[in-house]
Amino acid sequence: MVAPRADLDWPHLPFAYQKTDFNLRYTFRDGRWDAGVLTGDETLPIHIAATCLHYGQEAFEGLKVFESRQGEALVFRLDENARRMAGSCRKILMEPPPEALFIEAVERVVRANRRFIPPYGSGASLYVRPLVIGSGPRVGVAPADEYMLVVFVTPVGPYFKTGFKPMPLVVEEEVDRAAPLGVGDVKVGGNYAAGMRASYGAKQRGYSEVLYLDAKEKQYIDESGPANFYGISPEGQYVTPASGSILPSITNKCLITLAEQMGLRPERRPVHVEEIFTFTEAGCCGTAAVITPVASITWGDRKVTYGDGQTPGPHSTALYRRLTAIQAGDAPDEWGWVRRIPLD
């Protein structure tokens, strides 16, 4: 590490916003992206008629930076996040930042905030949050003519308070997060607004999150609020839902590769909700959630508990260890998932 590290309680960080030194903003105006500015200002001056404020022209990403044992800054799957951000923008008719610009932006803001990269082995990471917003004014419904790419970072601990400890889920039957031909497959803020009352309500009833069903038939598992879902079958399959209304998790994609290598047979297919009673373990996966094992799933007046409801299952544990070891540079990166960010 080049700079002295910020004085934070690294092993006990929450998953919450923490002020850092800089954020970065690029503007797309008159048909081109500008050179971007680093600033310490945490607010955005924004036109009152900006499309992001009225019509939800907003997309975001989330990725993590880890310090390796050797003190390098390692970012996980930056290329995939760059590609997905462009896809999200295109789907809601926003100007997609070129992938090279996205990559440059992430590296630049991480370098500027390097004293906030949590130390190796602390269990924390530097979460990077890029967002694109329609910043140009419109009153009639139409795409904006001006966009901003904003990137901030915040050091974080585990997303679910339990960390790598099983959490209870509940099947959501009253609320749909996304429709089959809607925007559930891209990372836009509107999907979170749609699901907020479901997540919030579940937490009030003592569950960590909901499990959404497909909006059309209410028969198949879609995903959890901020994370994809998988179950392990007694035959040793890693089963994860195929659905047009779930966000294709990059973590899940990596886990499919790892599961296969570890002798679990991955299957991505529609997963009937009744199958929750057949799995031997289940988990939620995503950049923020990493792998969070599922303790139990409540579905109406039925409930399934995995194992003793307290101890993560063996397959989830093995997948978690393998994934986090690759992210920290402790296990060989056979697929080029990790990229080193030059810090000076």
Contact set with ligand PLP (CB under 6 A): 62, 187, 223, 226-228, 247, 249-252, 286-287
Q: Residues 187, 216, 253, 303: which is the catalytic one?
A: 187
Closest approach of Cβ 138 to ligand PLP, in Å? Answer: 26
Cβ pair 66, 135 in contact under 8 A: no
Known active-site residue 187: yes
Residues constituting the chain: 344
Closest approach of Cβ 339 to ligand PLP, in Å? Answer: 16
Closest approach of Cβ 48 to ligand PLP, in Å? Answer: 28
DSSP output for 157-218: --SSTTSSS-EEEEEE-S--S--TTTTTTS-BHHHHHHHHHHHHHHHHTT-SEEEEEPTTTS
Closest approach of Cβ 294 to ligand PLP, in Å? Answer: 15
Distance of CA 54 to the CA centre of its chain: 25
Q: Dig out the tokens for 40 from the structure.
A: 């310490």
Closest approach of Cβ 287 to ligand PLP, in Å? Answer: 3
Q: Compare residues 36 and 97 and give the one whose CB is closer to ligand PLP.
A: 97
At a CB cut-off of 8 Å and minimum separation 6, what does 202 contact?
170, 172, 208, 209, 210
Q: What's the DSSP call for residue 137?
A: B
Q: Compare residues 113 and 191 and give the one whose CB is closer to ligand PLP.
A: 191
Q: Dig out the tokens for 100 from the structure.
A: 């090279």
CA–CA separation, 41 and 306 (whole Å): 46
CA distances from 203 to 137, 316, 326 (A): 37, 23, 32
CA distances from 186 to 5, 84, 88, 217, 310 (A): 35, 8, 5, 21, 33
Q: Compare residues 208 and 287 and give the one whose CB is closer to ligand PLP.
A: 287
Q: Compare residues 247 and 258 and give the one whose CB is closer to ligand PLP.
A: 247
One-letter amino acid at 342 equals P
Q: Compare residues 84 and 114 and give the one whose CB is closer to ligand PLP.
A: 84
CA-CA-CA-CA torsion sign (101, 106, 107, 111): positive
Q: Compare residues 145 and 333 and give the one whose CB is closer to ligand PLP.
A: 333
Closest approach of Cβ 197 to ligand PLP, in Å? Answer: 16
| Active site members | 187
